[in-house]
Structure 1
Amino acid sequence: MQIKLKRFAEQLLFASNILIAFLFFFEDKLVIPVWLQTVGRMHPLILHFPIVILLIAMLMEFFRFKTENSTNMFYRNFLQNLLLIGALFAAVTVIMGLFLSREEGYSGELLLWHKWTGLGIFFIASLIYWVRNSSWYKAPIAQSGAILTVIGLVLTGHYGASLTHGDNFIFEPISSRQEMAAVPLEKAVVFNDLIRPVLENKCASCHNPDKLKGELVLTDPESIKKGGKSGKLYVPGNPEVSLLLQRIHLSPDDKKHMPPAGKAQLTPDEIQLLTLWVKENSGFTKKVVDLPVKDPLRLLATARLVPSAKKEEAYDFDAVDEETVKKLNNDYRTVAPLAKESPALSVNIYNRSAFNIKQLDELDEVRQQVVSLNLNKMPVKDEDLKSIARFENLRKLDLNFTDVTGKGLKEITTLKHLQSLTLSGTKVNYKDLQSQISSFKKLKTVSVWDTEISVAEVAQLQKSHTNISVIGGFRDDGKDPLKLNPPQIKNAATVFSQATPLLLKHPIKGVAIRFTTDGSEPDSLRSPVFSDKTILNESVTIKAKAFKEGWYGSDMATFDFFKCTYKPDSVNLLLPLNRVHQAEGAKTFFDNKLGTIGANNPAWANNWAAVRDNDMAIVSEFKKPVTISSVGMHYMIEEDTGIFPPDIVEIWGGPNPDKLKLLDRVKPGLPSKGDKPSLKSLEGTFKPETVTYLKIVARPINKIPDWNKNKGKKALLLVDEMFIN
């Protein structure tokens, strides 16, 4: 049995060599179906097996010809089987990696090196297995092959890690911190010294020339200006319409939120930096000192960068020994020196669900050395501030998004060295902060964005305390309010079969979303306010705007919802679709997925089905007869590229395919010259009819109107969804 199994494994290895060589030779012509994409994405899961197995096998192969090993039958058999298993796992990993590399976002020289070193490991391991019992295979050859394989494993792992995490993943925390600290304020450039480090640390691992997620590169100004497949990354001076800011303000649960789940997220200060950079159109060459003295971006830069004349602070306390610091580190707390050779310590607390104020009490033996304490997003309450006040040498205290209020601040006014205090996202109000802020004698910056403190109150605080930089966050220049972003949709799909709640959201707290369903533009007084009790029962167009006191109302957002009560049990195409835009064939029309606008948008291939040379005709079957009174269709118009609505749509129904009667005929209107690309829908209505079979025929326009540059040609018809009610 063991011999048969081994022979089968050897045959499988031989076949794998041929298959992999074939796949790589015809790689450019390779199209990976959806179900195989899932297999490809298991590449990071499987790759650890061949790495470990081959490393052990190569170590044993290196010492194989030692006398005690060459005569040991168990050693020889175990090594041969281990090498065979490692080569087979390498084959599986290479095939999975090839499938994964065909997905969007993987390209460049780094991928090429990762691919070929991985392929080399597999072929070398296979070759060693096949020739290792030959008479000419001696110790020098075995050792050279083992060393070559190990080098290949190291290089492949290095290139793979760089693809996944970025070139500087290992040393990123150290290098980024040193770069930020080394730039004098007087020489700092807004983009190079404030914006670029954020993009490099939080974004560039997925958006670089070697890993083009969304066809977007964030490593150089030209690529940033160009944007990606979803369009321009930002619009200078218009944060409300900038894709960059829309994505970072999405809920972390949203698939489009950036950075994605599992990656290091942007801090509130980093979000504020990006917002102000876009808002103020600071570009790529402007220096920080060129900004007005009270400009919010300059104030934030002042808090992050060091002036050129600044000297390292001398502390009047001794350092604690390394063992003491080491034992205070655990899964929810890090304690580390603030800088090399410095006695000062920095403390970061993690894991909100496990937080307890005792985690601070446990630091009693180093409380004199702690100068920086980060409690961002921890459930810290006013009564906990008494424990914080015991850290008498604190220079920096981060209380962003904690549960503290202004009343509790009196507990930490004894911190005579405190220079930076962040209170963003807390319940601090103007009255309480105004009464306490003077007690902090050395305070230089205080951050209060996303609190109850208004833009006007921030300005008043700044005026009253000129020695302190009051960072108010989302505001203009202190005079005019910022315009709100449009509301966003949380519904997973906008096609529904039964009553469904309307789910709208906005990234800014305290925003009122007002909406209409009658086609009118919502206003701040008469339009209903959105709540989670709003239920949709029919197809409807929702128009929504966001309003908040002290802000300009947002632009209007429009969301189309479509009801499809009945989904056929089977759908068949009577005529072929366009060879370029076939999507999922007949299944496309009832998968609850709507396409997007854009002649070059890749969503065409996923959600749009098209015809030009013949009608779009489908027959749907219901296993149990249904009574229907309307049939709708969703289509796209982009007259500049020859995409037009259907010339006519016919709806037929009946008890069997041979006895269908015409239920309705719909002729939509034509677009006009210069109309913007749009998504439209039509609906054919009729008296209730019980049907088992339903045939829908959509005929494309035979001749495009003379006013169009494609005049006289057949129009392209794109349809993504149909609705049966």
Structure 2
Amino acid sequence: MYILLQSDAALFFGRFHSLTVHLPIGFLLLAAILFLLSLSKKFNFLIKALPLTILLTAITAVLSVVLGLLLAQEGGYPEGSLFWHKAMGIAVAILSVFLTIFILGYFDKTRQGNSLMERLNINTIESTVVDHKKGVGIFLAAAVVCISITGHLGGNLTHGENYLYAYAPTFIQEFLYDPNLEKSSLEFPKDADSTLVFDHIIQPILIQKCASCHDSETQKGGLQVTSLESLLTGGETGPALEAGSPQSSELYKRVTLDPKSRKYMPPKGVTLSYGEITLLKYWIDNGMNSDLKVTDQELPGEIQELLESTYGLSTKKKALYEKMNVDAASEETLAKVREQGFRVSALSEENNFLEVVANGKLKRENLEALSSIENQITWLDLGEAAIEDSWMEIVAGFPNLTRLLLDNNPITDKGTIPLDRLENLESINLYNTAVGDSTLNLLATLPNLQSVYLWKTKVSKDLVAKLSEVNPKLKVDLGFVEEEKKSN
């Protein structure tokens, strides 16, 4: 008894539960079949075999319950399903033991003095069953129902909740579970710029295909796949993921094993597709950035193509004017702006954003006139407009500016200082201005900036090379290629 109380010994014997659990199922179903056939006069003789099959059911059911309780100490099973699996299993054992005692006549007052050998007399047992067929039938039916529920719950514990009907015909699957559950797990934000590679694609895939054995309740092997934190914590074999090394990541190794391997994951149900494994490998290989978006420029072409073809996602980042709208400027206001030396045009009929282009050289008061449409301006061309450093504070007051052209103006590093407020700026042209390294360092801090044109400026090649390593998505054009062509 002491050895059974030891943890390892309990689990050793407990794992024989899966071997013995099929015995009471077989014996009980056989007993039910014998009982039903015995109701016919032609097969009435089969009732003689009923006591033995019920006795074997009782013995094996009790043994299975004991071993099952030992196995439950291993943990890692959903508490709700485990509770009812144990309850139904115990109910089967109790019902089969009760039937055995009943058939042996221990509830019959006329046989109270009988010895065990007398109770085992086949004629006496047959008489008891015949006299109480209705009662025996009810208890047998109850035991069959209980063992069916027990078996179903056991399958859920070991193979996941959809194991029984994973490959059932469509009409059965739709009846038993919500067919939209799997689809909803891969719903994406309306804005592609908000779609994260891990949160919206990889994580739902892992939950869909692995969580039946690795959620907060089950935790097979101590592992959960329901969050990035739980994957990094890992289970009994350590962290499931290792940034920069797919081959050292236990999760990746398991999903790429030979499907015949006992360590292959997931062992049952739908496995990860080639595209899903490719995306997982890329994400791990490139540092497991939880903020990586499907529109990030750093994504290679093959990954972008995979996202577009497999999930119907656009990997092209939308401009600000495609994602939001502003109130329209009145025609009277636009007319006054045009009078100040600007060409104004709408970018799209679907929003009220404007493109504004300077017609020649400006004065400060001309530029100040744009404040009346500061929210509507998203593209602004001030090239060759004689813009001075002190005027740049006005330009920095246009919050929705995404494209800014300042080429061929006497602007210096001092003038560009206010531009750090342009959080939506995506492109800026400073060709043939007097700006230097401090301007580029300032612009590199803007969160949405993608392109900077700095040909014929004081910006150094060394700084551009350094920034390209730190921030590869920022494209800086110094015009060296054009200069080399001219010199040749």
- Using the size of structure 2 for normalisation, the TM-score is 0.46
Higher strand share: 1
Higher helix share: 2
- Using the size of structure 1 for normalisation, the TM-score is 0.32
Structure with higher Rg: it is: 2
Q: Which has the higher contact order (CA 8 A, sep 6+)?
A: 2
